[in-house]
Chain A
Amino acid sequence: MAVAQPKTDATEARIAALTMPEGASWATEARKGALARLRASGLPGPRDEYWRFTNPAGLVEPEAPRAATFSDTDERPIFDAIDRVKLVFVDGVFDEGLSDDPALAGVEILRLSDALSRDIHWARDLYGALEERGQTPVVRPLAALNTAFATDGVAIRATGKAERPVNLIYLHRSETSDAILHHLVRVEEGAELTVLENGPAASRFNKCTEIDVAKGGTFHHVRAQGRDHERRAVTHMFARVAEEARYKSFTLTANGVMTRNEHVIEIVGDEAIAHVAGAALGDGRTGKFHHDDTVFITHDAVGCESRQVFKKVLRNGAEGVFQGKILVKPGAQKTDGYQISQSLLLDEDSSFQAKPELEIYADDVACSHGSTTGAIDETALFYLRSRGVPTAEATDLLVLAFVAEAIDEIEDEALRADILDRLSGWLERRRQG
């Protein structure tokens, strides 16, 4: 299908502003392949079906829109109490001085530029591979752009149980930064790894992570996107989940003028599990808030379980979007798929749009999906108030209750407590106005 001229022009203008980093010949081939995919599809435009609810303006221009940095020193840094290995990126550039010794994680960790300039078989097999697979049946041009031009990132390979979680911390210091990071994660047979991510990263952040979980492997991911009000982010998590492997991801988002988080997960081995969850808190009073969760889970094996649990709390004109799909391929019998997307609108100015989809080609499956939009339950609110809980506090309690199902997807108790702490902090700040 030919790309319309204005779109081609916009795409070429963006490409012209970027430089393809050097690397091993196989890496350059992978990047060129991605560039070809980007040119074939063109950058997303407002008329694209997959961008119907989220205007890609701000994500596609050659220059990143200016975004003020934000100091969140009013709360303890997230994951601070967790014994983890910090890898810090400042405006999208790895900062060795601020980072811990990667060796402490007990897994192989390489900077992306190192991984892509050597002949590392697992990195070669992975870089751009899952992203490319994720381009059908729906194109994801910003992910292709990422593969072609990513300037930094890490490649992590776990061959056993990691000693500590790897915490990727993204600091935002420049008002004009435009960061493109690409991470590779390979969890070998029976290995276990937890990756934590936090921070706004840059004024505009394009991040792509490719995660390959081998047989019986476990991958946990907990992310807290930064509180910067003006930042923009588009992220892709491409995962391939093998037999009896487990993939679990949770994201907390508060603030941000624009966030689009895509998850593209392919379950390729029997009896595997893939869960993705998210809680987004949006308050339009402190700047525009638009948050989009786009999830595509493909079942291509027998007896697998997938969950999509997304909750959004929106007020003062905040906008929430959910596009979620479960695709069950022929032969993927005994699939257990569940998807829930809900929004709690705290006023009439906020909005939520959801597009839940099931596409099933196997006959022995149990799949369900639900999507709701609602206000605070007045009966519950009165019940709480009648017991002496003031309205604001009662509302917060109901908000926490509303997002609980998503938070509960975090298995680790300490991490769950940390995320709950963030949520309470957000509510507290909102209450104080």
Chain B
Amino acid sequence: MLEIKNLHVKLEEEDKAILKGVDLSVEAGKVHAIMGPNGSGKSTLSYVLSGRDGYAVTDGTATLDGEDLLEMEPEERAAAGLFLAFQYPVEIPGVGNMTFLRTALNAQRRARGQEEMSSADFLKTIREKAKALKIDSEMLKRPVNVGFSGGEKKRNEILQMAMLEPKMCILDETDSGLDVDAMKLVADGVNALRDAGRGFLVITHYQRLLDHIAPDVVHIMANGKIVATGGPELALEVEKNGYASFESEAA
């Protein structure tokens, strides 16, 4: 589903290489986790895949179901089925959460040549999905993420994911700033979306999120490269011994 080959990326303004040849392949129905120390390039990978400005791809490719992601605008990537749950969800004063989601959902549907969802269907669907994430109607009405707690913001990201039903979900440090209860809610939300047609890339610094979202494959990233790939046991090794041994491998 998601194929990344030899991806090299630098910061546009500083001419500083961040990703130095990333190879990664996420199959439909699988959950891959990327773990790594701060500054290893994990978040950069998520930004580059979603199309954020400020990064220059100097080599390599990234495709989603064979389509070249790097050639697409961010909204085209979304319509193609890519979703990034942000580490720091953005506050948008003045734009209601519902309006935002409905606009996004229908824009994606239009882009895919599908019919827009009616107001009634939209309301029904969002109420159901919000309920599962313990997002009340008040939160749905409020401006996007404004005045939300850290946990509410992350739950709101998962709600968007649930509504937009992407085929490839990237979760960037979704556990940061969450207490155990909130993490469980978020993980339940993610697990509910796991199915044979959908791939996940879970980016995290700590192993604890992976207790709740069990990965099929774990990658360790250090210094802009994937330096180790294995099963869930790799995450436990990091938990026990830290990243030091992997970093020396990368250097």
Residues of chain A whose beta carbon lies under 8 Å from any beta carbon of chain B? 377-380, 382-391, 393-394, 397-398, 400-402, 404-405
Contact with A along B83-102 (1 / 0, CB 8 A): 01010011111110001110
Q: Is B104 in contact with A378, judged by CB distance below 8 angstroms?
A: no
Which of B75, B100, B105, B143 has the most chain A CB atoms closer than 10 A to its own CB?
A: B75
Choose among B52, B78, B79, B92 the residue that contacts A398 (Cβ–Cβ < 8 A).
B92
Choose among B73, B89, B91, B92 the residue that contacts A391 (Cβ–Cβ < 8 A).
B73
Q: Is A401 in contact with B94, judged by CB distance below 8 angstroms?
A: yes
Q: Is A400 in contact with B94, judged by CB distance below 8 angstroms?
A: yes
Which of B51, B74, B101, B111 has the most chain A CB atoms closer than 10 A to its own CB?
A: B74
Contacts of B104 in A (CB 8 A): 384, 387-389
Give A385 to B84 CA distance when docked, in angstroms: 11
B45-101: which residues lie under 8 A (CB-CB) from chain A? 50-53, 73-75, 77-79, 84, 86, 89-95, 99-101
Q: Is A386 in contact with B53, judged by CB distance below 8 angstroms?
A: no
Known contacts: A393-B103, A393-B107, A397-B103. The answer to whether A385 contacts B73 by CB under 8 A is yes
Q: Does B204 contact A (CB under 8 A)?
A: no
Contacts of B93 in A (CB 8 A): 401, 404
Separation in Å of the A433 CB from the closest CB of chain B? 19
Q: Is A388 in contact with B108, judged by CB distance below 8 angstroms?
A: yes
Separation in Å of the A323 CB from the closest CB of chain B? 25
Q: List 28 A-B contacts (CB under 8 A).
A: A379-B90, A380-B90, A382-B53, A382-B90, A383-B89, A383-B90, A384-B92, A384-B103, A385-B73, A386-B51, A386-B86, A387-B164, A388-B78, A388-B108, A388-B111, A389-B107, A390-B75, A391-B75, A393-B103, A394-B75, A398-B92, A398-B95, A401-B92, A401-B93, A401-B94, A401-B95, A401-B143, A402-B94
Known contacts: A397-B100, A397-B103, A398-B95. The answer to whether A385 contacts B90 by CB under 8 A is no
Contacts of A386 in B (CB 8 A): 50-52, 74-75, 77-78, 84, 86
Q: Which residue of B lies closest to A385 (CB)?
A: B74
Q: Is A389 in contact with B53, judged by CB distance below 8 angstroms?
A: no
Contacts of A383 in B (CB 8 A): 86, 89-90, 92
Contacts of A398 in B (CB 8 A): 92, 94-95
Give A393 to B51 CA distance when docked, in angstroms: 18
Give A116 to B51 CA distance when docked, in angstroms: 67
Q: Is the interface of B mostly helix, strand, loop or mixed?
A: helix
Q: Does B160 contact A (CB under 8 A)?
A: yes
Q: Is A405 in contact with B94, judged by CB distance below 8 angstroms?
A: yes
Contacts of B95 in A (CB 8 A): 397-398, 400-401
Q: Is A382 in contact with B103, judged by CB distance below 8 angstroms?
A: no
Give A405 to B52 CA distance when docked, in angstroms: 29
Q: A386-B74, A391-B75, A397-B103 given. 13 additional CB < 8 A pairs?
A: A383-B89, A384-B100, A385-B78, A386-B51, A388-B107, A389-B107, A393-B107, A398-B94, A400-B95, A401-B93, A401-B95, A404-B94, A405-B94
Q: Is A388 in contact with B53, judged by CB distance below 8 angstroms?
A: no
Interface residue tally for chain B (C-beta within 8 Å): 31
Give A379 to B89 CA distance when docked, in angstroms: 10
Contact with A along B208-235 (1 / 0, CB 8 A): 0000000000000000000000000000
Q: Is A388 in contact with B52, judged by CB distance below 8 angstroms?
A: no
Q: Is A388 in contact with B90, judged by CB distance below 8 angstroms?
A: no
Give A77 to B144 CA distance when docked, in angstroms: 32
Separation in Å of the B74 CB from the closest CB of chain A? 4
Q: Which residue of B lies closest to A379 (CB)?
A: B90
B4-59: which residues lie under 8 A (CB-CB) from chain A? 50-53
Give A384 to B101 CA distance when docked, in angstroms: 9
Q: Is A387 in contact with B90, judged by CB distance below 8 angstroms?
A: no
Contacts of A402 in B (CB 8 A): 94
Contact with A along B156-169 (1 / 0, CB 8 A): 00001000100000
Q: Is A388 in contact with B79, judged by CB distance below 8 angstroms?
A: yes
Q: Is A387 in contact with B92, judged by CB distance below 8 angstroms?
A: no
Q: Which residue of B lies closest to A408 (CB)?
A: B94
Q: Which residue of A lies closest to B80 (CB)?
A: A388
Contacts of B86 in A (CB 8 A): 383, 386
Give A388 to B95 CA distance when docked, in angstroms: 16
Contacts of A391 in B (CB 8 A): 73, 75
Q: Which residue of B lies closest to A397 (CB)?
A: B95
Separation in Å of the A290 CB from the closest CB of chain B? 26
Q: Is B53 in contact with A378, judged by CB distance below 8 angstroms?
A: yes
Give A390 to B77 CA distance when docked, in angstroms: 11
Contacts of A387 in B (CB 8 A): 78, 100-101, 104, 108, 160, 164
Separation in Å of the B110 CB from the closest CB of chain A? 9
Give A401 to B93 CA distance when docked, in angstroms: 6
Contact with A along B122-133 (1 / 0, CB 8 A): 000000000000
Q: Is A389 in contact with B94, judged by CB distance below 8 angstroms?
A: no
Separation in Å of the A78 CB from the closest CB of chain B? 22
Contacts of A405 in B (CB 8 A): 94
Q: Is A382 in contact with B52, judged by CB distance below 8 angstroms?
A: yes
Q: Which residue of A lies closest to B111 (CB)?
A: A388
Q: Which residue of A lies closest to B161 (CB)?
A: A387
Which of A394, A398, A404 has the most chain B CB atoms closer than 10 A to its own CB?
A: A394
Contacts of A393 in B (CB 8 A): 103, 107
Separation in Å of the B105 CB from the closest CB of chain A? 8
Which of A385, A387, A404 has the most chain B CB atoms closer than 10 A to its own CB?
A: A387
